[in-house]
Amino acid sequence: MSVSRAHSRPITALAWTSSGTTCPSYYTLIGTTEDGTAANFTRGFGLKSGYYLCYSKDLAGGMVVSDVQVISDKDTIPHGYCYIPEFMEPKASVWKKKRVCVRIVPVDSVTNAVLDIRVTAKSKMMLQQYTCLGDILGYVLWCMKGPFSTPTPKAKPRRISLDLRQLSLESSETQLPLRPSNQPQVPPKLSCRRKTLDKNELNETVYDSSNIYGITAMDGVPFALHPKYETQTNEKATVPMLDDIRIKSIHDIENEYHYTFAVEELAAKRSRPIFSQP
Q: How many CB atoms lie within 10 A of CB 68?
A: 23
Tens-binned pLDDT, residue by residue, of the chain (278 aa): 444 544 478 999 999 998 888 999 999 999 999 888 888 887 656 566 788 999 999 999 999 999 999 999 899 999 999 999 999 888 888 888 899 999 999 999 999 999 999 999 876 678 888 999 999 988 999 999 999 877 655 555 555 554 555 555 554 455 555 555 455 565 555 555 554 545 555 555 555 555 555 667 777 788 887 787 776 555 554 555 556 677 888 888 888 888 888 888 888 888 666 555 55
Domain ranges of the chain: 13-147
β pairing state of 131-136 and 98-106: unpaired
Q: What number does CATH give the domain 13-147?
A: 2.100.10.50
Cβ–Cβ < 8 Å for 120, 33: yes
Whether this prediction's pTM lies above 0.75 is answered by: no
Q: DSSP of 85-101, one letter per residue?
A: PEE--TT-----SEEEE
